[in-house]
Every structure is written in C-alpha cells, then in structure tokens.
Amino acid sequence: MKKCLTPNLLRHTVYYVNSNSYLSPPLLVLSSLAEGDKHGYAMMDDIEHFAGVRLGAGTLYGAITRLEQHGWIRPIDSQDRRQPYTITGAGREYLRDQLGELERLVRTGQRRLKHT
Amino acid sequence: MKSIVRILARLYPASWRARYGAEFDALLEDVQPSTRQALDVFLGAMSMQMTTWNFGKIIIASAVAGLALASIGAFLKPAEYVSSTPIAIEASPAAAQSVIDNLPGSLSREELGHISQLNNLYPGERGHESTDELVTKMEKAIVIQVDHPKPFDYPGVPWSGLTFFTIHFKYSDPKIAQQVDGQLVGLLVSKNLEAQEAAPGGPPVRIHVLDSPTFPVKPTGPGSVLLTASGAIAGALLGLLIATMLRLSRTRSAKAG
C-alpha cells in the first residue's frame, strides 16, 4: 500500500517544531489561525487536536506576543474578554515559507530512506 | 492553585500587562489550574521580563538567582567527614605495589556488607535500597591514597624498604567514619596475615599501621560561604551569556524588521 505523504509530513512537522523550542509555539499558533480566527483557549484546544501538544498559557501568550510584534497576527474586534486573533497576509506568507522548508526536509529524508 | 497562577501572572512586565493583561487573565480563568500551568506562567513571565531588562539587570538578577540556589544547596548538602589511617607496607616495591593495587578487590562485598550492617551505615537508605547498593555506596566512600611522607612525619619508624599509603573513609558522622576506617584497616591486616600463612613461600609482606584512625573534626568539601560565592559568580556568568544572546537576538530582529 502506498503511504500517504500528508500524515507523514504532519508527523515530521510536529516532531520538528517540538524539538525546536524557538519556532514551535509560534508555528503552531500560525497553523491554528490559518484555519480561522480564534481566541487563546480555542487555539490551545485546536493545537492539542492537530499536533498532540497542549501549550501552557505562558507559552501561548509568549508566542502571541512575538507574532503580533512581527505583524504576523493581529487582534480583531470582540465584545468578549477573550481576545480573538487573525493571521495577517505576512503571517500566511511566513507560515508558507516555514512549511515549505519543512516539506523539503521531509521529502529529502524520505527519498534518502527509500534508497537505503 | 488558581490563585497562585493569578499571582504569578502579575510577574509579567507592567507594559506587557497593560496590553495583554485582561485577555491573559480571561484565558487563565478558562484553563485547568495545575502545577504545570503555574510553572509555564512563571517561565513565561520571566522570559517576558528578560525582553524588557537591560544588560546589567539581567546579570544582577542571574547572580542573585545563582546566590539563592547555591545557598539552598549549601544548606541542604549533607556534611561529610573523612577519617584517615596511615599505613606502611614492608616488602619489596613490586610486592608492596601489588598489595596496594589489589586492595580494593581484596575486601569482599560480604565483608563490606557485614561492616555496613555492624555500624548501621546509611540508615536513611536502608529501607529502599538493597544491601548490594549500600555496599556499592560504601565502596565509593573508601579512598586508598599512596603517600610520600617525609622521615620526620613518623619518627621511630624504620624508613628503608617501606611503601606508604592511607586508607580514608568518608561518612556523614565523624565518629562512625573513624570507627569504620579502623575496621577496614583491621580487615586488611588480618587478610594479609591469612595470605602470608596460606603461601609461606611467597614474598614477605608486613603491614604496619602507623597511627590510629583520625577523628575528623571538620567536614570536607567547600564551605557554605565558598559554595554561595561560587553560585553567585556562576549565576552572573550565566546572566552575561543570556544577556549577550538576547542582545544578539534583538539586533538580528531589528535588522530583519
């Protein structure tokens, strides 16, 4: 049976971001917001669902702070105390770049594995 | 736990709290409070504080943290006392060296186990560690050191043809350290006699115990002041490293922006 690339890519991506403490939480947050606007708690749930990692509140807001400083996410109007965020165009571009690099890494690794 | 997490959230810099405080508190209301959450909030606060601190503040804070940790370590570190017994071997240099080299192996684990039991060594560990583990711990506390004393160190001892060494035993109680050191020396002497009787044709080896085991008055190792000072210096150096890395990272971010 031919193995599908997507689950492998996701698994390798999660491994990569987990082992890279600087990149991981911001990338996870961007990946979560790429699907739609969310507030902090919804991001935590979503990230846990797709990556199997439950971010702590301190880690999540550390990532949110950095991403907002870079202009990759921004808060959106809300009447609730829970502040929702949205990914910006620059944020999508950054996420696309990062995932592209990961994809290249995964493909190279898999290609080499096939030859051994 | 919820109130602890809320208090820890106050450790974030005032400027950060002015921007994110309300929504962060709202998130903390939603999440399940736990020790992991508390630690995560604390580390997040410290990391955010670091981004607002200047070079000097980071170094001072790290030095204070190192000082505090080293003080706690110095307070918790159990004292260790070393009792020593000087010994001389009367034999050919090769035979004497062979005795010293074989010394650690000549004391069997059963014999060490017996001494350990006799003196009730390591009472705190007896409940959850096996006899074998306790004997291993005891073996690590025995140090055999070859000496090169000067003739006037032991007046009256015939000097030529002797090889000198010391048996040390390290323990948390000075009296027990002295007692066990004496028993180890006694065991060594009796084993040597047995070996001589078993092989009467072999090279003659006589063991002279030059002095009784010492009673250690002061514990070994660095004192509390030295430990605390080392902690402060190590903390300051770590702070210097962190501050430099942060400065480099900020410079890089500014260039990228």
Residues B209, B214, B220: CA angle, nearest 5 degrees: 130
Q: Give the tens place of pLDDT for each residue, A62-73.
A: 999 999 999 999
Looking at residue A3, its pLDDT comes to: 43
Say yes or no: B4 contacts chain A, CB-CB below 8 A: no
**8 Å CB contact of A57 and B31:** yes
Looking at residue B255, its pLDDT comes to: 65
Chain A residue with minimum CA distance to B9: A58
Interface test with B, best of A65, A67, A68, A77 (most B CBs within 10 A): A65
Smallest CA-to-CA distance from A55 within B199, B31, B161, B203 is with: B31
Distance between CA atoms of B122 and B119, rounded to whole angstroms?
A: 9
Q: Give the tens place of pLDDT for each residue, B30-57.
A: 888 888 889 999 989 988 887 777 777 7
**8 Å CB contact of B27 and A60:** yes
Burial string for B201-228 (b: 16+ CB within 10 Å, else e) reads eeeebebebbeebbebeeeeeeeeeebb
Q: How far is A112 from chain B (nearest CA, A)?
A: 34
Total H helices, total E strands in chain B: 10, 4
Say yes or no: A82 contacts chain B, CB-CB below 8 A: yes
Distance between CA atoms of B20 and A40, rounded to whole angstroms?
A: 11
Looking at residue A80, its pLDDT comes to: 82
- Please, which pLDDT band fits residue A4 given cuts at 50, 70 and 90? very low
The reported pTM is: 0.49
**8 Å CB contact of A61 and B20:** yes
Q: How far is B238 from chain A (nearest CA, A)?
A: 19
> What CA dihedral angle connects B21, B23, B24 and B26, to 10 degrees?
120
Give contacts of B 134-173 with A, CB under 8 A: none
Smallest CA-to-CA distance from B171 within B157, B187, B161, B182 is with: B182
